[in-house]
Each structure stands twice: as structure tokens, then as C-alpha cells.
Structure 1
Amino acid sequence: MASRQGGPGGDDSPRPGSTERRTATTTEPAGSRRRSRRRSAPLSLRAEADDARHSAGRTPEDPPIRDPGLYALTDHFRKRLEQPGRYVSTRTVSDAIRRGQLRWNRTDGWRFALIEGGIRFVVVVGDTETNSPVVVTGWTEIADREAALAARRWDPVDVDTIAVRAALSESASTPIPDRIRPRTVTRPFVVGEHRLETEPGKPYVSCTDCGCRFRSKEAITARGCHGRSGR
């Protein structure tokens, strides 16, 4: 009988998980249960107060926590996760937060940077002084071109796509024909409303949908894409 009631053993005394123990718990007087709930409430309040004090003691300059599970994703970043040619995923974000090098500046706040296969993954976080930090955005850069080309994770088009996108973003208003000209991007990547590609020798990226040509990021984002009929 004892084993059927919740646990092995040779004596007849109730054990945790047994029918007797569960019955005793659920049949105690209602007033006793109410007192039990009232006693537990201050523990919850103390925990909330501890969290509030912990948050109040942090400043934006304090190094952010390295637990990816505590970070929410902004809508801005979620949209970019779905764009072709960004090479950033929730896994790389988690890896960067756990193991990446921390960088701080007063303009952007905290960044995590992690190099894998010659590519640097950069993750920008915000609200790090609160109990609800967020991932603001993320991108990739070429850290070591030769290492990236040698890595099984990337092919030459991946590496050139990362190089062109990063070059466009470095100075949005500056035309960069010389940095585009050597690159081959045959799988379109997205900037603004445009799907962009380029070929060796061309000093611009062109939109596969509307055919417009661009030499700077500012020019790309300033113009909408209306397809071939909108040219």
C-alpha cells in the first residue's frame, strides 16, 4: 500500500507525494490556508523591492548583464532579422552577449562584439540599467577577410555582401564607388526598400526590383522602390 500511495519504503508513515500528505494539505481549514497565503505575500514584496533597489543602483555606464534570456528584442531588430544579407540571428546575438567583447561609447551605449570565422558580429543593447534590457540592433563586419574566405561557414558572396553593407553604413552620406567596384554580390541584400546586388567593375549597387543605382546608403534610403514600372 505504501508504494502505491506515492513512494517506496517499508513503514506506513506518509511521505512527500503520498495520498495521505496531499489529503492533509488540501483539507486543512480555510482560515489556515488564508493565513498561509498572507504570510507568503511579504516575501514576494521583498523580492520586488530587492529588484527595484538593484535597478535603482545601476547606471547606463555599468557593464550590462551577460544573460541573453533577460534581453527582449526591439521591433526594429526583429524586422532586420528577417532581411536577406544581414547574417545576424538570435543564436549569434546570444553568443555575442555571453562571450563577446564589451565596448562602450556615449553615443550608442554598450555593444557586444564577437568574432567567428573572420566575421565580427556586433550587438547593440539598451536599457541596461533597468531590469528589462533590450537588443536594439545588430550587424556584421569583416574582421579578417582571408579568415572569412577560408571559413566553411561563408562563401565569397557572403563575404562580399558583408563588406559592401558595412562600407555603406560606415558613412551613410559618402559615395563609396571604389569599395563597391571589386565586389560580387549575386544574392540580393536588403537596405531600405531595395534589394541590392553588384558585379565586379561596377561602382554602384543596383536594385533588382526597380533598377535604380546607388553609391551611398543615404541615396538608397532616401528613394522608395516602386518596381520596374516606377522607374
Structure 2
Amino acid sequence: MASRQGGSGDAEPLGPGSTERRTASTTAAASREDDVRPRSPPESPARRRARAGRSDRSADYRSIDSHRGGESAARTPEDPPVRDPSLYALTDHFRERLEQPGRYVSTRTVSDAIREGQLRWNSTDGWRFALVEGGVRFVVVVGDTETNSPVVVTGWTEVADREAALEASRWDGVDVDTIAVRAALSEAASTPIPDRIRPRTVTRPFEVGEHRLETEPGEPFVRCTDCGCRFRSKEGITSRRCRQRSPGR
């Protein structure tokens, strides 16, 4: 899968509304991720500290102030991220995704994934949490080695079990097809995917780049509802401006 990680940007705390309920992870479904391979990283400073009896992971995050004798946490990419959602901030990149139609990610699902999801290491994105709910996998990429506190870098959804998703009360057929089309476009951004678009029905436009996209059964493309352009790959979408939109939109 192509990397979807964005820049860190300014970050704001994960709000109090992000812990609405706890949801157990579906480990078996999450393990079906073909593009994510679990790894066993070498023992890190954090793990050595844990074996020595230091269990308070929140103490690993301190402001770095060399002029006042502040101490860096000196965390490395191999250190597993913490599972306390209240410690995480949101990057600008991820905040933008929360506002886009067809993303199906929220602060609640981010909190649930961090707290209960399966943790995996990916060589492209780094640490990611994966949680399956109602046949849909929520993937949350986090980072904490370049900031003074852990951050949610990005997140997306995938169809883990289509039949389960269609049976779940929280999704309808358009939701499931939207998630499937968006994920397919992102998996190989430069590759046209007409056969994966053709069977889908997306009547509520979702956003990619500057375009609001939809498709109907039998169409081998997604179509922008604003400018009318047709696309078969994500690269085609993101490389073309929408003629009906002003530069500020």
C-alpha cells in the first residue's frame, strides 16, 4: 500500500469527546492486512526501562528545554507507542481529514483504535493501530520521535469483511462502496483501477484532492460532480485542478 502519511504540522490535543465508548478489537480480522507485516523490533531504551520497573509511560514525554536542563525522552522508532488517547495530539493533516466527506474517521474511532486496536509496525508509515468494527477496519498512524508528545499523523478506513459491513447497522451500501473505492485508489495511486471501480455505487460524493467524486455501477471511472472530469487513478485526481473550484477551496 502506498504511504498515506502526511506532515506533522501544528497539532492540537485529542479532545475529551474522543472517548465515548470502548470497543474490543477484532484481532483475526486485523491480521488479514496483506500490506502490514508484524515485526519484532530490537530491544529499545523504553523496553529496558520497563524491565527495570519503570511502568509509567506518560513520564517518557517531557518538554525539551536544554537551556533549563530539560531532558529529552530520546525515544526511537522501535519504541511502541502509548495506548492512552489523552496523550495524543492531532496534526493539521489529520484534522483536515476529519472534515472531509467519505472519510468515516472520527476522534472516537481514533481513541478506540489507540486503546483497543491491534498494534503493528509498517516500514513505510511506522507504528499503526488497526481496529475492526462492523466489518470496517480503522487504521491510525501515530508518531512520537520528532515531537515532544505523541501525535496522530493520519488515518483511514478499509473494508475488512464486506458481508459483515453490509449487515452492520452503522453502514449502508453506499458507505461500504465509498470506503472500498477510496481504499483502492490509494493502494496504487498511479495505477488505473477501472475493474475495481466498475461494480461500485457511490451516490454521495467523497473528496480526493480538489474533486468531489461519485460513480455508478458499470462505470470504470469516478466522476467529479463539480467539473465533470473522469478519473481511473488517484494520481489523475490529485494532479488535476477542479475547474469549478476557487483556489481557496
Contact 1:64 1:128 in 2 (8 A): no
Counterparts of 1:50 and 1:210 in 2: how far apart (Å)? 47
- Aligned-partner SS, 1:55: coil
* Cα deviation digits, residues 80-116 of structure 1 (max 9, x gap): 1000000000000000000000111232110000000
Equivalent pairs: percent with the same residue?
Answer: 84
Mapping for residues 26-175 of structure 1, pairs under 5 Å: 51=62, 55-56=73-74, 58-128=75-145, 131-175=148-192
- Comparing both chains, which one has the higher relative contact order based on Cα–Cα distances under 8 Å and sequence gaps of 6 or more? 2
Contact 1:128 1:134 in 2 (8 A): no
Aligned residue number for residue 223 of structure 1: 240
Aligned residue number for residue 20 of structure 2: none
Counterparts of 1:157 and 1:101 in 2: how far apart (Å)? 27
State the structure with more CA Rg: 1
Runs of 4 or more off by more than 3 Å in structure 1?
48-54, 128-131
Aligned residues: CA RMSD: 2.1
Counterparts of 1:171 and 1:156 in 2: how far apart (Å)? 24
Q: How high is the TM-score relative to the length of structure 1?
A: 0.74
Tell me which of 212, 215, 218 is aligned to 1:198. Answer: 215
Aligned residue number for residue 214 of structure 1: 231
Tell me which of 191, 196, 200 is aligned to 1:183. Answer: 200
- Aligned-partner SS, 2:205: strand
For structure 2, which runs of at least 5 residues remain unmatched after alignment?
A: 1-58, 63-69
Letter in 1 for 2:182: R
* Cα deviation digits, residues 16-74 of structure 1 (max 9, x gap): xxxxxxxxxxxxxxxxxxxxxxxxxxxxxxxx999466812x32111100011111100
Contact 1:65 1:128 in 2 (8 A): no
Change (3 A) 1:63 1:210: same
Change (3 A) 1:75 1:50: closer
- Aligned-partner SS, 1:102: strand
Q: How high is the TM-score relative to the length of structure 2?
A: 0.69
Letter in 2 for 1:55: A
Letter in 1 for 2:213: L
For structure 1, which runs of at least 5 residues remain unmatched after alignment?
A: 1-47
Change (3 A) 1:210 1:95: same
**Structure number with higher helix proportion:** 1
Letter in 2 for 1:172: A
Letter in 2 for 1:84: P
Following superposition, the deviation at residue 200 of structure 1 comes to: 0.1
